[in-house]
Structure 1
Amino acid sequence: MEPISLQTRLIQATGRVPCRPGAPSGDGAAVARQMDAALLTVGFACARDLLDHVSAMEPGAAFDTAADVMAAARLQVGDHVRHNVYFIDFPENVPDTLDFWAQCIADALVGPDGEEVAVEDLFPDGAPGPVSLTDLPAYGRYQHTYADLLARHEALVASSEDRVTVLRLGGPLDDEAHRLYLDTAASPVPLADDGRDLLAALAAHCADREQPETVPVRENRAIINRARLEHGRAPQVDTVTDVLRLACALSDGDVTLAAPTRFTSPRRRDRRALLAALDRVVAGAPVKLGDVNRHANRWKRLGERLHPHEYPEFPHAREVFAVARGERRASSLEARTEAAFTEGDLDEALRLLSASPGMLVRSLDRLLRLAGPERLDAVSGALAEAAPSVAGRVLLSARAHLDPGRRHSAPRVFANRGRRAWVAPDAREPLGRGLLTDAVRPLDAEIAARLPAADRVLVDPAVLKVALPTTGAPGRADGTGVLPRGSTTVVDGERLRFFVHWRQAHLTTDLDLSVVLLQKDFTYHGHLSWTELEGHGGKHSGDIVEAPEGATEMIDLDLARVGAAHYVVPQVDLFEGEGFDDLAEVFFGYMTRGTDRKGRPFEPRTVRMKSDLSGTGRVALPLVFARGGTRNKPRWRARWTHLSLTGEPNFNRVEANSLSTGLLARGIMERPYVTVAQAVELMRGRGAKVEEYGGQRGGGGTIYVGLERPERLREDVEAFTPDRLENLLSH
């Protein structure tokens, strides 16, 4: 993908178009009207202030602004690429799977001039044996152009059901960048890959402006520290691991420390700055040397680049590398705490964990099991004392994990930073509803204390089941309609159309879009994929096996014809080639339409969700659709997962992982999450007046929570939309 301008990235991330106060004035009304009309075709519209601003520009300047706006809008929904599909009439005239395969073989036996091809010529190296479908000339490679596809499909008729996202006018570009920089740096949850990339660009752009007072997330701090170093300022660190993350950032490595970094030789001034920072941290708190053991190998490799022996003025920094090499012993807090748990010593565990409030909250399950009802007060007291110093995302995770209403039979779902997930049965004894109810009171009290102290809260009911984010799920910067993991939203269409688009970077890559259908008990009901092109109310657009210029696969699914299926799980399997993090581009999404609506296979204004795919797994599971309501009036809802399965190195197929997909779907659907509804009730408990939003303009002391900021809302009303929900908790 071509580099994206900062202006375009700001529009994507905020939905605000930076104004151009210095642009030459003139009559740009015609350009503004054309921009507004073009935006409607991709599901966007201009607010009145934006139209007025562009209309007052000289036409050339107006056109430049319109081009940036259109680029951002098309990127948001995935309309910046050509979505060609294998079967030109899709979703009509999709052939039977076996008939299609047989036709591919028959076509392979006829040469380009109509002459017959010997069967032996189909065998690899001419030796008899199996013939791969992917080696057949007609299989998995486009047989028509994108222009041919457009000629076969009539235009989609506009409908009131189409998605319309309003773009507003913002301040000057530098002000908008600085505003987003401060907001992003203050995020209390880790950012996704695209968010970290955007933060790095903003940190460099805003290096000479006011800097954030606090940066709660350590990897975000590393990105900002790199920008500080590059502008001759000392980094802000308070642990040895902060310095390690900064060293990774300087080497363009992984600041999350989830993947290894190949350290480069830093400039002499950066080397000195890193060692000075290490020396300062260890001198102030020698106990922090215990953190070195966790990443000892990384420290040893970094030491080879920093040459600490050349800097006798930093003796405490040299101790870090002595611990990494095993020349000095430094016991970690984790090791001492684990020993206390092993010995069943609750008092010692609480004493040790009091020095690390976040670790105490993460250990609540173990502490409660060790304490039992008899010593619950000791744990509750320690929790109440620690909670104010704990990150909001940790409090939310603990509250969800200890939810008294959680089903004990639900499988446990684990996920790492690369979104790789695995499932395990919960073999532990249940803690008991009464114990959990008492245990979560300090958590609820602290969460409530961090919510905005508003007099009035206006709420869009559609946002109530959206989960408060605890991880860096993809957001507005890389797509549209993306919600935090665990969020639930209503599906408003009769027909779902899933799509995946990818473009390979170096290796021939074959991704496969599939759908698993599960019954009410999460057991397998059926699937749609390249091995099952039609059935269960769905149709597959055809398998594409290479994507040098980009490729798209789609699945069309009529929700009224899925039979006994209660869950629909779309997934993207890496069959062969580059992983999600290695591809030049890869994104997934879905559209909704009525069963009678025609149009092209990809219609941007019907896109309800689009998000880039990333992670180290080989099978992506972006979300799960679940059926509710009654038999006569079913109501479908979507729950966001943002997870992936490990999969095999190659040849992943939906048939091979349907069991693990079912277990993961069950774990996600039955796991509780802290939602906006719970946050609103906590604010009500603090005295806020809660109202359903119905067009009110709001006023002083009012906040708004919803999926989009309403145009009627007063400018002084703070709005919390999905891209800002992480800021609902103050820290």
Structure 2
Amino acid sequence: MRGMSRDLVALVVRRTHRLPVQVQELGSEGQGAVLARQFDAALMSVGFKLSGELLARLSALPEPRVAEAAGTGLAAVRELLGDHVRHNTYFVDFPHNVPDTAEFWFDLLVEALRAGRSAADPANGPGTDLLALPGYGTYRHDYEDLLSAHEEFLAGAGDRLTVLHLGDSPEREVAALYLALAGSTTPLGEEGLRDLATLARHCADGPQPAAIPVRENRATVNAARLHAGAGLLADTVTDVLRTACALFDGDVTLAAPTRFGPLPRPARRVLLAALDEVVAAAPGKLADVLRHRERFKRLGERLHPHEYPKWPHAAQVFAVARGEQRVRGLDGRVDELLAAGEPGAAAELLAAAAPGKLLRAFDRLLRAATAEADRAAVLAAAERALPAASGRLLLSLREHLENRERSGGERRVFVNRDARSHVADDLRPPLPAAERARLAAALDAETARRLPADPPPLLVDPEILDVALPLSGNASAAGIGVLPRGSVQPVRGELLRFFVYWKQQERATDFDLSALMLDASYDNPTWLSYTQLSSVAGAHSGDIVEAPDGASEFIDLRLSKVPGRYIVPEVNVYAGEGFQQVAESFFGWMLREEAQRGLPFEPRTVRAKSELRGAGRVALPLVFERCEDGEWYARWLHLHLRGFPHANQVETNRATVADLLRAALRRQHLTVRHLVDLMVANGARLLPWDGPAPDGPVTYLGLARPDDLPEGSRVITPENLRELVPA
């Protein structure tokens, strides 16, 4: 790993579950077998293990090289699981000996009276502020006390075991990951863009992807290219605007404003030259300025285009932004045609000028087409636009059509780029069945055309079939075991425990973990929270109200005793910093066996750990659902509610959460199963999952990569699921 930053190597481990290992130098003698086995044992204590190939490679290396690889790999894995911090609990014996809620408050009151302390709140009259009682909300024991209070954890047959595979040299692994992320056909999300920026700075002078189809990815790469003295990849003026946002660590999605600071003259020249080239080649692209007029004004104040008369087309961009030059945008022309009752003509215009925009507007155009001739024109234009659209857009529209056969009047979930959601009545009439079915078939045919023509045989783990395709950047969150929004996975076990960890940045911050339980009609709520510490179903670990050094809360549930059908874990911001302001915050869940005992947090039992970074004050990572067969399943939500500025509680938002859940679970998501079916219909051979081991390369789709795939196999797991979406 010499010559390569340990942070970059850790990034590769985190995103690929591969440990980069430098090829052994000729003539060097390997003595690393003992250290390699110790590394393997340390990994197994947190639910990972070395693949046989990686163990053999490490064993052949000199000890210092093994020690370096082990230190980096183990640290990366522990952070991935959330085991890089100490998870304490308010009740030292949790999940045992959690008191009844009334008993708990009574004991605190007695303790305060004995100490001569008052909990009266002068601002609220003679009443008692229970949260101000001495000793409430802060740890009453240290981590060493927690260790001594719990029996040793016993490994169980159902513990998670994730294989860490052998990687190529650090340089090749970093370059390959950069090319995969930069060339992704789907948006990466906040953490993915940060990782891409890190990799792009390192790889700006090396090989580049043949295409960067996602605009946000392109802007992130452009920022690195600019620093390296290379030209920009831009075919719209908005590409240049996004690049400027990336230079100032701003929002390349343009969902939030970026504060532009002074730019050095070389950077100004590069940005202005790129704008000039785009507009000179296609003057009609000046209309794109209208969508982000204020941002272009602010950027123009920093670029000083008047100082560079050799780029007159760049100056036009800012003249349009200031209103000094008028352009007619495509959206305005489409609106005029729709107002005139000509949806067919609007569709024809979009098909010629912006095929992707046509497909995004298909629902609106078809609903506006009341005459049969107009419906036929809209549908024909959409079919002609399909070859020019991205694979992600094709699949997104296909998913949209799956959810448009029902009549209006139902509730509909809206989710923005920050995963903040709200629910409203869906007043749209259903799309005509014939046109909807015809376009769905055309979308499937176009998608199938882009799939590999003669792929290796398919080996598909049945549990990945219900994983949703990652079609948007906010459809998931960073972590391990995290699946895109809408994905469903079985929960096999009796004892379910979920947890939250947070560490405040600048001011006292109180996150509250809660579990809302609802019946099949999303009614009759019961819950566990800091106000309801225990029930027949389980227990809460106790409330922590500030986290200068980090804090954790847990909820333990016995699934067979849970009332109702749904369990909705919530993380409520009660006070202080939100999810985007704290230094760190994450949610996760684990499964245990009765006899395992151990600490409240045992990394081997962690099934998923998901970063919490949404814009709302209430986080809903997923829901657990008991289906008709009596089995439990987890369905990923990745949703946030705006909530209140402070004092968010499960008791006050339960109706809103129930309404959101009812609408969210009704939505159909396009899953891996859809693409597998298309591949099989396209001629791909599907191998039996429980059949003999394959004797040649395969395309493997599963939740984790097995250790014994034939050489040359292509592997698709949740870590690189985006690669399944065709370009």
TM-score (norm 1): 0.94
The CA deviation at 1:132 is 3.4
Within 5 Å, give how 1:556-571 maps onto structure 2: 556-563=556-563, 565-571=564-570
2:256 corresponds to:
259
Structure 1 CA distance, aligned partners of 2:695 and 2:324? 63
Query: How has the CA–CA distance of structure 1 residues 441 and 169 changed in structure 2, closer, same or farther, with 3 Å as cutoff?
Result: same
CA contact (8 A) 1:406 1:671 kept: no
Match of 2:470, as an amino acid? Answer: P
1:378 corresponds to:
377
**Partner SS for 2:577:** coil
2:498 corresponds to:
498
Q: Please point out which of 635, 642, 648 is paired with 1:639.
A: 635
Q: Please point out which of 11, 14, 19 is paired with 1:12.
A: 14
2:63 corresponds to:
59
2:143 corresponds to:
146
Structure 1 CA distance, aligned partners of 2:542 and 2:332? 54
Structure 2 CA distance, aligned partners of 1:647 and 1:204? 38
Is 1:390 paired with 2:389?
yes
1:480 corresponds to:
480
2:705 corresponds to:
709
Within 5 Å, give how 1:204-243 maps onto structure 2: 204-243=201-240
Within 5 Å, give how 1:335-374 maps onto structure 2: 335-354=332-351, 355-371=353-369, 374=372
Is 1:330 paired with 2:331?
no
Question: Which consecutive residues of structure 1, in runs of 5 or more, have no partner in the other structure?
Answer: none
Query: How has the CA–CA distance of structure 1 residues 501 and 474 changed in structure 2, closer, same or farther, with 3 Å as cutoff?
Result: farther
CA contact (8 A) 2:52 2:707 kept: no
2:686 corresponds to:
690
The CA deviation at 1:699 is 6.0
Is 1:623 paired with 2:622?
yes
Give the number of aligned pairs: 717
Q: Could you report, residue by residue, the CA deviation over 1:31-60 in whole angstroms, capped at 9, with x for unpaired residues? A: 111111111111101111111122222223
CA contact (8 A) 2:697 2:711 kept: no
Q: Please point out which of 703, 713, 716 is paired with 1:720.
A: 716
The CA deviation at 1:75 is 1.3
**Partner SS for 1:208:** coil
CA contact (8 A) 2:698 2:710 kept: no
Structure 1 CA distance, aligned partners of 2:462 and 2:511? 37
TM-score (norm 2): 0.95
Is 1:551 paired with 2:551?
yes
Match of 1:584, as an amino acid? Answer: A
Structure 2 CA distance, aligned partners of 1:617 and 1:335? 33
1:584 corresponds to:
583
**Partner SS for 1:513:** strand
> What is the percent sequence identity of the aligned residues?
49
2:108 corresponds to:
104
Within 5 Å, give how 1:420-569 maps onto structure 2: 420-453=420-453, 454-473=455-474, 478-535=478-535, 537-563=537-563, 565-569=564-568
Q: Could you report, residue by residue, the CA deviation over 1:505-544 in whole angstroms, capped at 9, with x for unpaired residues? A: 1111111111111221223421211111112502111111
Q: CA RMSD in A?
A: 2.0
Question: Which consecutive residues of structure 2, in runs of 5 or more, have no partner in the other structure?
Answer: none
Q: Please point out which of 71, 74, 82 is paired with 1:70.
A: 74
The CA deviation at 1:348 is 2.1
**Partner SS for 2:251:** coil
Query: How has the CA–CA distance of structure 1 residues 481 and 136 changed in structure 2, closer, same or farther, with 3 Å as cutoff?
Result: same
The CA deviation at 1:125 is 6.9
Match of 2:10, as an amino acid? Answer: T
Within 5 Å, give how 1:187-206 maps onto structure 2: 187-206=184-203
CA contact (8 A) 1:107 1:138 kept: no
Match of 2:463, as an amino acid? Answer: A
Structure 2 CA distance, aligned partners of 1:53 and 1:508? 48
Match of 2:485, as an amino acid? Answer: R
Of residues 364-373 and 253-262 in structure 1, the stretch that sits farther from structure 2 once superposed is: 364-373
1:276 corresponds to:
273
**Partner SS for 2:501:** strand
Structure 2 CA distance, aligned partners of 1:436 and 1:154? 60
Structure 2 CA distance, aligned partners of 1:438 and 1:405? 14
Structure 2 CA distance, aligned partners of 1:536 and 1:398? 45
The CA deviation at 1:404 is 6.7
Match of 1:7, as an amino acid? Answer: V
The CA deviation at 1:427 is 1.7
Query: How has the CA–CA distance of structure 1 residues 320 and 161 changed in structure 2, closer, same or farther, with 3 Å as cutoff?
Result: same
The CA deviation at 1:474 is 7.5
CA contact (8 A) 2:456 2:698 kept: yes
Of residues 270-279 and 408-417 in structure 1, the stretch that sits farther from structure 2 once superposed is: 408-417
Structure 2 CA distance, aligned partners of 1:67 and 1:592? 28
Match of 1:303, as an amino acid? Answer: G
2:609 corresponds to:
610
Q: Could you report, residue by residue, the CA deviation over 1:663-697 in whole angstroms, capped at 9, with x for unpaired residues? A: 22122211111111111111111111222323655
1:319 corresponds to:
316
1:135 corresponds to:
132
The CA deviation at 1:473 is 4.9
**Partner SS for 1:568:** strand
2:282 corresponds to:
285
The CA deviation at 1:278 is 0.8
Structure 1 CA distance, aligned partners of 2:29 and 2:518? 59
Query: How has the CA–CA distance of structure 1 residues 410 and 684 changed in structure 2, closer, same or farther, with 3 Å as cutoff?
Result: farther
**Partner SS for 1:689:** coil
Query: How has the CA–CA distance of structure 1 residues 694 and 321 changed in structure 2, closer, same or farther, with 3 Å as cutoff?
Result: same
The CA deviation at 1:432 is 4.5
Query: How has the CA–CA distance of structure 1 residues 697 and 336 changed in structure 2, closer, same or farther, with 3 Å as cutoff?
Result: farther
Match of 2:113, as an amino acid? Answer: L
Structure 2 CA distance, aligned partners of 1:166 and 1:608? 14
1:91 corresponds to:
95
Match of 2:82, as an amino acid? Answer: G
Of residues 656-665 and 239-248 in structure 1, the stretch that sits farther from structure 2 once superposed is: 656-665
The CA deviation at 1:405 is 8.1
CA contact (8 A) 1:42 1:603 kept: yes
Structure 2 CA distance, aligned partners of 1:519 and 1:585? 34
Structure 2 CA distance, aligned partners of 1:473 and 1:62? 38
Of residues 41-50 and 687-696 in structure 1, the stretch that sits farther from structure 2 once superposed is: 687-696
Query: How has the CA–CA distance of structure 1 residues 490 and 184 changed in structure 2, closer, same or farther, with 3 Å as cutoff?
Result: same
The CA deviation at 1:67 is 1.1
Match of 1:402, as an amino acid? Answer: L
Query: How has the CA–CA distance of structure 1 residues 362 and 523 changed in structure 2, closer, same or farther, with 3 Å as cutoff?
Result: farther
**Partner SS for 2:525:** strand
The CA deviation at 1:367 is 2.1
Query: How has the CA–CA distance of structure 1 residues 604 and 383 changed in structure 2, closer, same or farther, with 3 Å as cutoff?
Result: same
Query: How has the CA–CA distance of structure 1 residues 372 and 709 changed in structure 2, closer, same or farther, with 3 Å as cutoff?
Result: farther
Structure 1 CA distance, aligned partners of 2:481 and 2:433? 36
Q: Please point out which of 169, 174, 187 is paired with 1:177.
A: 174
Of residues 531-540 and 446-455 in structure 1, the stretch that sits farther from structure 2 once superposed is: 446-455
Match of 1:657, as an amino acid? Answer: N
